[in-house]
Amino acid sequence: MPSSNTPENQPRAGESTSSLTQTQVRRSLKASILDGSFYAVMQGLTQNYITPFALVMKATTGQIGLLSSIPNGMMSLAQLVGPMFSERLGSRRRLVMLMGLLHAMMWLPILLIPFVFSSHQVTWLIAFMSLSTIFDAISQPAWGSMMADLVPEDIRGRFFGNRNRIAGIISGVFAYVAAGILQILTGNPRLAFAVIFLGATAARIVSFYYLSQMVEPVTATIAKKVHTSIWEISKTLPSSNIGKFIIFCALFNFSVMLSGPFFSPYMLEELGFNYVIYSIINSASGIATIVFLSWWGKRTDKAGNIIILRITAFMVPFIPVAWAVSQNFWWLIAAQVFSGFAWAGFQLASSLFIYDASPPDNRSRYIAVYNSLSFLGFSLGSLAGGLVLPILPPVAGSQYLSIFLLSGFVRLLFVALLVTQITEVRHVPVFNARTILLDDVNPGKLKKIAGKIDRILKNKKG
């Protein structure tokens, strides 16, 4: 029997998504989960350890800001060329695979920096991380568009919730693995980071393999259609519903990244935590995210994405504020659990809304604009944070606490001004925040209960 990615099983140009067999769809979604799982291994080994790697190379506070802002800025620009590349290649899948392989290979020069470069090591790290994020970013609009076509609309919340939950568990486990390696090799951090990044390379290569096992649906073999240009999409952003959503996310990300790069140096340098404690606090948020992803996923399927977005957007501003309240280990764990709960719902609702609200023929372009402006917000936010931090008056003797409070205030400002202007695009029942947070969001169950009550009342009347 031919495999799911052989020519016999590939849809031809112009065919609809329904031309894919259920077996092809099932295999592709299973491959997507495995791809995400090994991508999560790479993330767990690296995501929270780039800043510590830079600190080993004596990075300054300004350089830490640049280490976040420059790669995110490059990622913002790279998103915009993704749709053009996928159209020229004639396949979204092909582009995703090519960029995935290049992304995997970029961890090799990163791990070699301390061994090859005797000076300007942080500068080289910023350069290589920028290249790495560019390769990853170019593929994201194509990947998002392909997945939106593969996953049926009525189960997107549950599918991506479960996929992200599995990835979160794996990422959390390998974050501890990285912390253990660093703790065991405390006297030789260069070797420790080399081992960690070599593991990340291997995991990303396996992720690439599972990407190759996916079948590309319909519009993926890009039929010749008239596409709306990215410039034309950008001009409609202030007036359209999806445009208001994109603008809100960009500004919200700016406010988040005012403080985002500085939690690591705050814990490692100011509070003096070792890598194990650092990893435990970081992973508390990831574990909470894992726990609540499926919980939020069921609610997005039933109640829509915007109500979830609004609820969680009002929670997120209080996360950095909590860090300014106490330095107690257990308090920070509680703050991270709250963070995971809020971000699980916000990120899931955001990613699903862009799939729902963007027209299928131009979905990759809308995703590109959304990702581009989101990463521009990340870039400018971390750059602004790095510039503002040294001149802020200390709170309780710490300028890090000052930037945390400033970030919380700016987040709340953007939420209050913008999030209520975005409306739901799906036909869903109306639920209020209390029902979503405290009750079982299940219209079918509610109808059954109502039916039982009606029958009881009728029997009593009889």
Specify if 453 maps to a domain. Answer: no
Rounded to whole angstroms, how far apart are CA atoms 71 and 1?
44
Please give the single-letter amino acid code of residue 375.
F
Specify if 442 maps to a domain. Answer: no
Rounded to whole angstroms, how far apart are CA atoms 236 and 244?
9
Specify if 445 maps to a domain. Answer: no
75: domain range? 18-222+230-428
The string over 15-29, giving b where at least 16 C-beta atoms fall within 10 Å of a residue's C-beta and e elsewhere, is eebeebeeebbebbb
| Full-model pTM | 0.69
Specify if 457 maps to a domain. Answer: no
Classify 396 in phi/psi space as left (phi over 0), alpha (psi -120 to 50) or beta: left
The number of C-alpha atoms within 13 Å of 426 and in the hemisphere containing its C-beta is 21
Rounded to whole angstroms, how far apart are CA atoms 57 and 354?
39
- As to burial, measured by CB atoms within 10 angstroms (0-12 exposed, 13-18 middle, 19+ buried), residue 152 is exposed
By the 8 A CB rule, do 234 and 28 touch?
no
Specify if 30 maps to a domain. Answer: yes
> Angle, nearest 10°, between helix axes 189-212 and 107-116?
160
Residues in the chain: 462
Structure confidence at residue 142 (pLDDT):
86
Show Cβ contacts of residue 459 under 8 Å, excluding neighbours closer than 6 positions: none
CA dihedral 174, 141, 158, 3 (to 10 degrees): -80
Show Cβ contacts of residue 415 under 8 Å, excluding neighbours closer than 6 positions: 252, 313, 314, 316, 317
Q: Count CB atoms within 10 A of the CB of residue 236.
A: 11
Specify the residue for token string 């399927």: 301
φ, ψ of residue 284 in degrees (nearest 5) = -60, -40
The sign of the dihedral angle between the CA atoms of 446, 452, 455, 460 is negative
Structure confidence at residue 266 (pLDDT):
92
Q: The domain spanning residue 266 has which CATH number?
A: 1.20.1250.20
Please give the single-letter amino acid code of residue 186.
T
Three-class SS string for the chain? CCCCCCHHHCCCCCCCHHHCCHHHHHHHHHHHHHHHHHHHHHHHHHCCCHHHHHHHCCCCHHHHHHHHHHHHHHHHHHHHHHHHHHHHHCCHHHHHHHHHHHHHHCHHHHHHHHHHCCCCHHHHHHHHHHHHHHHHHHHHHHHHHHHHHHCCHHHHHHHHHHHHHHHHHHHHHHHHHHHHHHHHCCCCHHHHHHHHHHHHHHHHHHHHHHHHCCCCCHHHCCCCCCCCCHHHHHHCCCCCHHHHHHHHHHHHHHHHHCCHHHHHHHHHHHCCCCHHHHHHHHHHHHHHHHHHHHHHHHHHHHHCCHHHHHHHHHHCCHHHHHHCCCCCHHHHHHHHHHHHHHHHHHHHHHHHHHHHHCCHHHHHHHHHHHHHHHHHHHHHHHHHHHHHHHHCCCECCEHHHHHHHHHHHHHHHHHHHHHHHCCCCCCCCCCCHHHHHHCCCCHHHHHHHHHHHHHHHHHHHC
Rounded to whole angstroms, how far apart are CA atoms 58 and 296?
41
Q: How is residue 48 written in tokens? A: 């929270």
Structure confidence at residue 447 (pLDDT):
52
Structure confidence at residue 442 (pLDDT):
55
Rounded to whole angstroms, how far apart are CA atoms 161 and 156?
8
By the 8 A CB rule, do 408 and 318 touch?
yes
Q: Count CB atoms within 10 A of the CB of residue 105.
A: 16
Structure confidence at residue 155 (pLDDT):
81
Specify the residue for token string 């350089």: 63
Q: What is the pLDDT along the chain (462 residues), one digit of tens a residue?
A: 333 333 333 333 333 344 568 888 889 999 999 999 999 999 999 988 898 899 889 888 788 878 877 887 788 788 888 777 877 877 888 899 999 999 999 999 999 999 998 889 999 999 999 999 899 988 888 888 888 888 887 788 788 888 888 888 898 889 889 989 998 988 898 999 999 999 999 999 999 999 989 988 765 344 445 567 778 888 889 999 999 999 999 999 999 999 988 998 899 889 999 888 988 898 888 888 888 888 888 888 888 899 999 999 999 999 999 999 999 999 999 999 999 999 999 999 998 899 888 887 788 788 889 988 988 898 889 889 988 998 999 998 999 999 999 999 999 999 999 999 999 988 888 887 778 887 655 555 545 544 554 554 455 444
Specify if 13 maps to a domain. Answer: no
How many structural domains are present in the chain? 1
Structure confidence at residue 215 (pLDDT):
87
Rounded to whole angstroms, how far apart are CA atoms 117 and 301?
51
By the 8 A CB rule, do 402 and 396 touch?
no
Rounded to whole angstroms, how far apart are CA atoms 36 and 84?
25
For residue 395, list its beta bridge partners.
398
Specify if 380 maps to a domain. Answer: yes
Structure confidence at residue 245 (pLDDT):
95
